[in-house]
């Protein structure tokens, strides 16, 4: 319920009241500090002539300023859940102003901004306070105030004079982000149509079930079953989008709060993960561009570490990183000197920038040599790629003549190489560079390595030992940093003490380069990223999509959110694991963690124990059964703010890092079961995010104006269908596992119902391929047999059909209206949904059932990241497309058959029209 427009006094708690003009009384026009007239007069009588919040002298107000400030009008809507603030058009833009100087802020946000005894009350003046704290005054007003200010300062006691740093202090206290709910004018009609469509669906099914077609009963029954499944799928997809929201971040406030001049930089450190497998399908130059964009991000260099996981143990990847580290010494200072975007050289130079026109700095004209340096770097890398096309019979050898340890990609030791770092090579200007680490985990026959999920977990352990940043950002090798301030965008949420406390990750949307204008394969997934994810952000948060995501390391370790008690046991109600119940219970219980903190969490206290005592203490707490046999790693997991001991020996840390990536390290631990990336599906991203949110964590969707990351999309239909097949297969694996959202995670009650519906939709959508193939085949069967599934329509039935089609169209139109998605993107999404549904999804269902029932494992196919003639020539040669062509040819043949067969004269023309519409759909 919206509070009264008259705020409460911060001193006495009474209403501020109105002035002689009937307007809300305002004591300080600088910050609109809520104080009633009586308390204000008392402060004046006590000779307190400055504002208690911002320190502005009360006498400093002029008549012109009074009129200027009263241009702000706060309008309150009694029926809405938000306030609408209109700001005078002459006022400078504030962080809260969006679209014609209007902003809508939820009451919960205003509560966090109010101060004093009655902070629980929501006031419109407190909102104006937030706006005014960001206002920059016009030069004209500054000149007018300059002379009287000097006179007033002389009359103010020295102890009450404020320093001229109020804007900085105000920015430091200002919010780091705000939630912008959808306008009522957009979301209310959308919800209304959804409810109407649900009612029409109920009436439609009542008509269909009560009017069977006896002459074609099997076909009629099949159509009814298919239609019920489609309606169920629509409900699962639609209702999680009930409360979509937008978010806005203020990175300037982040800097003002954590990067104060003359003080140590307090921004949190971030470990970047880049994973690659096959350098022939994932060219080293693409991976190198991703690494270079990371090393050049707009973030303190001592807070950035980049870990590259080479799961194929390829010497080509290693040598390309050697060249990349050397080129980074030139590229990083170039990016930061001229603030260029993007900071991946391949994509920056492809913009064809005119150095004379597009840049103001004269010195930039001399910088085309950066392009020349990059071209020379490309020649060296491409030469290595050409050389690697043919592997020598004796295998690869390193420069010192020793064999490359990874010649056998399935049987090799763990390898770690630190290329750059705080004590390593500096750039050409003598400045530090972020740390760059090459990692290839150990692989031996007879061990299950869990593909990408296992590689990511190995990076979690290595980074914890070497740098232990509290946050982790993972990227695919083909997703480069397109916005150098992307990390700061995420920190606006994760470092906010109010917002970020229960946030497990911040997910960015995926954007792509090199897609044709028509997006024939629906690679952009615009409907998912701009519609579905915004809806999930209004519930419990978006799902994790595998890349472009910043994690809270503590959430990856399986801990519950700080604001919630830990779950007492594994939250699977149908498939409890008796073997691990005690370990999981001990691990997740906050009381157990508090006991550990007394002796282990404080590293200073750990110095009082010798190595044997520490090992015994950790062993007693069952942490070895959870995290594995590494005291160094276990100690790092208990450091919520990250970091490594200053006295740690680097050589010892490297040795320990090699130990934690050994292939047997995860044996008899909870890795992949309760902590880290979860095993059991090729879509480990969905499963890992689901487990975190079942523990009560929330996630956030961040969509900066400049896309944070960009990647490469599949280059042909074959690769696109293989990609869709892999996603669908992963969903089937989750559906057939104990982590299925239909029964997992109920005991804690921490997963919201709409969020659960969204996760159910992500794992059951491949099964839609079965009714979709059947429904697409029905029109052809009906035309060929002369038996139809719909009787002659009555007037009421016609109205129901018409209402159903109109509700579908109106829902789509309103969805496009609040999301900003184009109608072409919607059409491409629906088109490829049908293509994938009758091809890749269908194969995934049968492949998943074979794996579950017969134990037939599936092969993971890496999607090619570069165009090749051989690939373009075979783009349609894939078995997954057989069913699609079969349905299409059957439909065409049935239409031809109707034209030449005499029975068509006896068939109701309305029925034929309906059948043709079904074929077209």
User: What pLDDT, on a 0 to 100 scale, did the predictor assign at position 875?
Assistant: 47
Cα–Cα distance measured from residue 126 to residue 113, given in angstroms and rounded to the nearest whole number: 7
Q: CA nearest 27: which of 10, 47, 4?
A: 10
User: What pLDDT, on a 0 to 100 scale, did the predictor assign at position 161?
Assistant: 44
Average pLDDT score over the chain: 76
Write the CB contacts of 664 (distance below 8 Å, at least 6 apart in sequence).
444, 447
DSSP codes, 344-406: -HHHHHTT---HHHH---GGGGGTTHHHHHHHHHHHHHHHHHHHTTS--TT--B-TTSPBPTT
- Using DSSP bridges, classify how beta strands 270-276 and 471-476 pair: parallel, antiparallel or unpaired: parallel
Annotated ligand binding at 815? The verdict is no
Q: Residue 816: is it exposed, middle or buried by C-beta count within 10 angstroms (0-12/13-18/19+)?
A: middle
Strands, E, within 653-782: which ranges? 698-701, 709-712
Cα separation values, 852 from 216, 723, 734, 742, 744, Å: 36, 21, 11, 18, 19
pLDDT of 689 over the 90 cut = yes
Q: Residue 749: is it exposed, middle or buried by C-beta count within 10 angstroms (0-12/13-18/19+)?
A: exposed
**pLDDT band per the 50, 70, 90 thresholds, residue 920:** very low
Q: CA nearest 96: which of 113, 81, 80?
A: 113
Cα–Cα distance measured from residue 33 to residue 842, given in angstroms and rounded to the nearest whole number: 63
Annotated ligand binding at 429? The verdict is no
Q: Is it true that the peptide bond before 342 is cis, omega within 30 degrees of 0? A: yes
Specify the higher pLDDT residue, 170 or 276.
276
User: Which of these ranges, 511-525, 560-574, 652-666, has the smallest mean pLDDT?
Assistant: 560-574
User: What pLDDT, on a 0 to 100 scale, did the predictor assign at position 169?
Assistant: 66
pLDDT of 859 over the 60 cut = no
**pLDDT band per the 50, 70, 90 thresholds, residue 226:** very high
pLDDT of 275 over the 70 cut = yes
User: Which of these ranges, 165-169, 231-235, 310-314, 796-800, has the smallest mean pLDDT?
Assistant: 165-169
Contact 742, 708 (CB under 8 A): no
Specify the higher pLDDT residue, 784 or 611.
784
Cα–Cα distance measured from residue 756 to residue 571, given in angstroms and rounded to the nearest whole number: 14
User: What pLDDT, on a 0 to 100 scale, did the predictor assign at position 732?
Assistant: 92
- What are the tens digits of pLDDT across the range 398-416? 887 888 888 888 888 999 9
Active site residues per annotation: 311, 685
pLDDT of 869 over the 50 cut = no
User: What pLDDT, on a 0 to 100 scale, did the predictor assign at position 190?
Assistant: 93
Write the CB contacts of 365 (distance below 8 Å, at least 6 apart in sequence).
355, 356, 359
- What are the tens digits of pLDDT across the range 420-434? 876 667 888 888 899
Q: CA nearest 705: which of 98, 85, 188, 236?
A: 98
- Using DSSP bridges, classify how beta strands 304-310 and 435-440 pair: parallel, antiparallel or unpaired: parallel
Q: CA nearest 504: which of 453, 569, 470, 553?
A: 553
pLDDT of 99 over the 60 cut = no
Q: What mean pLDDT is predicted for residues 104-115?
A: 30
DSSP codes, 147-163: HHHHHHHHHS-GGGPPP
Annotated ligand binding at 47? The verdict is no
User: What pLDDT, on a 0 to 100 scale, did the predictor assign at position 46?
Assistant: 61
**Percentage of the chain lying above the pLDDT 70 cut:** 71
User: Which of these ranges, 327-331, 607-611, 702-706, 792-796, has the smallest mean pLDDT?
Assistant: 607-611
User: What pLDDT, on a 0 to 100 scale, did the predictor assign at position 351?
Assistant: 80
Write the CB contacts of 262 (distance below 8 Å, at least 6 apart in sequence).
none
**pTM of this structure:** 0.75
Class of domain 1-59: alpha beta
Q: Is 204 helix (H, G, I), strand (E, B) or coil?
A: helix
Q: What mean pLDDT is predicted for residues 140-153?
A: 43
Annotated ligand binding at 443? The verdict is no
Q: Where are the domains of the chain?
A: 1-59, 252-391+402-562+671-713, 881-916
Torsion angle defined by CA atoms of residues 89, 95, 96 and 99, in that order, rounded to the nearest 10 degrees: 60
- What are the tens digits of pLDDT across the range 690-740? 999 999 899 999 999 999 999 988 878 888 888 899 999 999 999 998 899
User: Which of these ranges, 74-83, 147-156, 475-484, has the smallest mean pLDDT?
Assistant: 74-83
pLDDT of 66 over the 90 cut = no
**Max Cα distance, the chain (Å):** 106
User: What pLDDT, on a 0 to 100 scale, did the predictor assign at position 50?
Assistant: 67
pLDDT of 119 over the 60 cut = no
Cα–Cα distance measured from residue 517 to residue 509, given in angstroms and rounded to the nearest whole number: 19
Domain 252-391+402-562+671-713 is found in CATH 3.90.550.10 = yes
User: What pLDDT, on a 0 to 100 scale, did the predictor assign at position 857?
Assistant: 67
- What are the tens digits of pLDDT across the range 842-858? 888 988 888 877 766 65
**pLDDT band per the 50, 70, 90 thresholds, residue 131:** very low
Count CB atoms within 10 A of the CB of residue 582.
12
**pLDDT band per the 50, 70, 90 thresholds, residue 687:** very high
Question: What DSSP state is assigned to residue 560?
Answer: P
* Half-sphere exposure for 806 (CA within 13 Å, toward CB): 9
pLDDT of 525 over the 50 cut = yes
Count CB atoms within 10 A of the CB of residue 16.
23
User: What pLDDT, on a 0 to 100 scale, did the predictor assign at position 878?
Assistant: 62
CA 744 remoteness from chain centre: 23
Cα separation values, 70 from 132, 193, 648, 820, Å: 12, 41, 61, 35
Contact 406, 315 (CB under 8 A): yes
pLDDT of 47 over the 70 cut = no
- Using DSSP bridges, classify how beta strands 102-106 and 82-86 pair: parallel, antiparallel or unpaired: antiparallel
pLDDT of 125 over the 50 cut = no
Q: CA nearest 474: which of 271, 704, 637?
A: 271
Annotated ligand binding at 691? The verdict is no
CA 863 remoteness from chain centre: 22
Q: Is 472 helix (H, G, I), strand (E, B) or coil?
A: strand
**pLDDT band per the 50, 70, 90 thresholds, residue 877:** low
User: What pLDDT, on a 0 to 100 scale, did the predictor assign at position 458?
Assistant: 94
Cα–Cα distance measured from residue 240 to residue 244, given in angstroms and rounded to the nearest whole number: 9
pLDDT of 641 over the 50 cut = yes
- What are the tens digits of pLDDT across the range 763-783? 999 999 999 998 888 888 888
User: Which of these ranges, 88-97, 408-417, 487-496, 590-599, has the smallest mean pLDDT?
Assistant: 88-97
User: What pLDDT, on a 0 to 100 scale, did the predictor assign at position 367?
Assistant: 61
User: What pLDDT, on a 0 to 100 scale, did the predictor assign at position 861?
Assistant: 54
Cα–Cα distance measured from residue 452 to residue 473, given in angstroms and rounded to the nearest whole number: 15
Helix (H) or strand (E) holding 635: helix 631-637
Specify the higher pLDDT residue, 478 or 97.
478
Q: CA nearest 474: which of 545, 561, 539?
A: 545
Cα–Cα distance measured from residue 852 to residue 737, given in angstroms and rounded to the nearest whole number: 9
pLDDT of 578 over the 70 cut = no
Specify the higher pLDDT residue, 131 or 626.
626
Specify the higher pLDDT residue, 97 or 828.
828
Write the CB contacts of 857 (distance below 8 Å, at least 6 apart in sequence).
851
Lay out the sheet containing 102-106: strands in order across. 73-76, 82-86, 102-106
- What are the tens digits of pLDDT across the range 663-686? 889 888 889 888 999 998 888 899
Reading phi first (left if > 0) and then psi (alpha if -120 to 50, else beta), residue 676 is in: left
- Reduced DSSP (H G I as helix, E B as strand, rest coil) percent helix, strand, coil of the chain, to 5: 50, 10, 40
Cα–Cα distance measured from residue 875 to residue 867, given in angstroms and rounded to the nearest whole number: 11
User: What pLDDT, on a 0 to 100 scale, did the predictor assign at position 327?
Assistant: 93
Most confident of 15-24, 534-543, 787-796: 534-543
Long-range contacts of 679-682 (CB under 8 A, 24+ apart): 679/450, 679/453, 679/454, 680/733, 680/734, 680/737, 680/739, 681/730, 681/731, 681/733, 681/734, 681/737, 682/451, 682/726, 682/729, 682/730, 682/733, 682/858, 682/860
Q: Is 88 helix (H, G, I), strand (E, B) or coil?
A: coil
Q: What mean pLDDT is predicted for residues 493-502?
A: 90
User: What pLDDT, on a 0 to 100 scale, did the predictor assign at position 704?
Assistant: 93
User: What pLDDT, on a 0 to 100 scale, did the predictor assign at position 493?
Assistant: 94
Nearest-Å Rg of the Cα atoms of the chain is: 31
Q: What mean pLDDT is predicted for residues 430-453?
A: 90
Cα separation values, 697 from 98, 433, 689, 780, Å: 30, 34, 9, 49
């Amino acid at each position: 319920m919206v509070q009264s427009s008259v705020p409460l006094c911060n001193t006495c708690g009474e209403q501020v009241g109105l002035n002689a003009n009937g307007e809300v009384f305002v004591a300080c026009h600088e910050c609109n500090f809520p104080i009633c007239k009586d308390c204000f007069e008392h402060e004046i009588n006590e000779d307190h002539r400055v504002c208690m919040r911002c320190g502005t002298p009360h006498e400093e107000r002029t008549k012109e300023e009074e009129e200027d400030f009263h241009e702000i009008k706060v309008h309150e809507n009694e029926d809405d859940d938000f306030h609408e603030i209109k700001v005078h058009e002459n006022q400078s833009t504030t962080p809260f102003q969006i679209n014609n100087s209007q902003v809508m802020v939820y009451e919960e946000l205003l509560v966090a901004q109010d101060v004093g005894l009655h902070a629980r009350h929501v006031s419109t003046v407190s909102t104006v306070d937030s706006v005014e704290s960001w206002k920059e005054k016009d030069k004209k007003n500054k000149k007018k105030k300059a002379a009287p200010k000097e006179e007033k300062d002389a009359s103010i006691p020295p102890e009450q004079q404020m320093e001229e740093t109020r804007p900085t202090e105000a920015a430091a206290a200002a919010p780091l982000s705000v939630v912008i709910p959808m306008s009522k004018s957009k979301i209310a009609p959308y919800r209304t149509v959804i409810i109407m469509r649900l009612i029409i669906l109920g009436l439609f099914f009542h008509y269909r079930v009560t009017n069977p077609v006896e002459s074609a009963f099997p076909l009629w029954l099949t159509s009814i079953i298919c239609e019920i499944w489609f309606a169920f799928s629509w409900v699962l997809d639609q209702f999680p989008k009930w409360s979509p929201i937008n978010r806005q971040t203020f990175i300037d406030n982040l800097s003002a709060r954590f990067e104060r001049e003359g003080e140590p930089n307090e921004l949190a450190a971030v470990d970047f993960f880049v994973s690659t497998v096959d350098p022939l399908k994932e060219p080293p130059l693409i991976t190198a561009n991703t690494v270079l964009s990371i090393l050049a991000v707009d973030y303190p260099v001592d807070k950035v570490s980049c870990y590259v996981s080479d799961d194929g143990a390829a010497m080509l990847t290693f040598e390309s990183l050697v060249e990349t580290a050397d080129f980074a010494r030139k590229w990083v200072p170039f990016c930061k000197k001229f603030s260029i975007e993007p900071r991946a050289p391949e994509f920056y130079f492809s913009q064809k920038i005119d150095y004379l026109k597009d840049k103001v700095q004269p010195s930039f004209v001399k910088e085309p040599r950066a392009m020349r340096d990059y071209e020379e770097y490309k020649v060296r890398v491409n030469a290595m790629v050409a050389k690697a096309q043919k592997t020598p019979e004796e295998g690869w050898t390193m420069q010192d003549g020793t064999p490359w340890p990874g010649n056998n990609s399935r049987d090799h030791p763990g390898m770690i190489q630190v290329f750059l770092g705080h004590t390593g090579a500096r750039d050409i200007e003598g400045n530090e560079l972020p740390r760059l680490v090459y990692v290839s985990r150990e692989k031996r026959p007879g061990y299950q390595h869990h593909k990408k999920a296992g590689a990511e977990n190995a990076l979690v352990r290595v980074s914890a030992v070497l740098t232990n940043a509290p946050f982790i950002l993972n990227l695919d090798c083909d997703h480069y940093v397109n916005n150098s301030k992307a990390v700061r965008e995420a920190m606006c949420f994760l470092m906010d003490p109010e917002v970020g406390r229960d946030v497990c990750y911040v997910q960015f949307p995926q954007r792509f380069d090199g897609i044709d204008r028509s997006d024939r394969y629906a690679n952009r997934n615009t409907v998912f990223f701009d519609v579905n994810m915004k809806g999930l952000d209004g519930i419990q948060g978006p799902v994790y999509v595998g890349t472009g995501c910043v994690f809270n390391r503590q959430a990856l370790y399986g801990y519950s959110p700080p604001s919630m008690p830990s779950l007492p046991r594994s939250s699977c109600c149908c498939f409890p694991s008796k073997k691990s119940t005690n370990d999981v219970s001990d691990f997740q219980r906050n009381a157990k963690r508090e006991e550990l903190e007394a002796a282990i969490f404080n590293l200073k206290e750990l110095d009082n124990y010798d190595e044997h005592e520490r090992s015994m203490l950790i062993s007693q707490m069952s942490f070895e059964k959870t995290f594995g046999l590494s005291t160094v790693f276990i100690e790092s997991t208990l450091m919520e703010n990250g970091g490594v001991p200053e006295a740690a020996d680097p050589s010892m840390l490297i040795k320990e890092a090699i130990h934690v990536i050994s292939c047997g390290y995860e044996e008899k631990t909870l890795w992949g079961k309760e902590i880290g990336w979860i095993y059991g599906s090729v879509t480990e991203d969905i499963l890992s995010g689901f487990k975190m949110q079942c523990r009560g964590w929330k996630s956030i969707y961040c969509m900066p104006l400049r896309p944070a990351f960009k990647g490469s999309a599949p280059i042909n239909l074959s690769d696109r269908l293989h990609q869709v097949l892999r996603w669908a297969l992963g969903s089937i694996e989750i559906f057939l596992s104990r982590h299925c959202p239909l029964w997992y995670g109920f005991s804690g009650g921490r997963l919201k119902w709409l969020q659960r519906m969204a996760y159910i939709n992500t794992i059951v959508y491949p099964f839609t391929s079965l009714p979709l193939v059947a429904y697409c085949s029905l029109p052809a069967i009906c035309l060929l047999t002369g038996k139809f599934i719909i009787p002659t329509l009555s007037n009421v039935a016609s109205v129901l059909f018409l209402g159903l089609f109109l509700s579908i169209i109106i829902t789509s139109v309103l969805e496009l209206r609040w999301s900003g998605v184009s109608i072409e993107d919607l059409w491409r999404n629906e088109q490829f949904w049908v293509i994938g549904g009758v091809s890749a999804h269908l194969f995934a269902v049968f492949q998943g059932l074979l794996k579950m029932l017969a134990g037939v494992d599936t092969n993971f196919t890496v999607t090619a990241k570069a165009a090749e003639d051989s690939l373009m020539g075979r783009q349609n040669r894939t078995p997954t497309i057989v069913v699609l062509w079969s349905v299409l040819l059957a439909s065409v043949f049935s239409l031809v058959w109707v034209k030449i067969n005499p029975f068509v004269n006896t068939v109701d023309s309305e029925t034929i029209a309906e059948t043709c519409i079904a074929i077209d759909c």
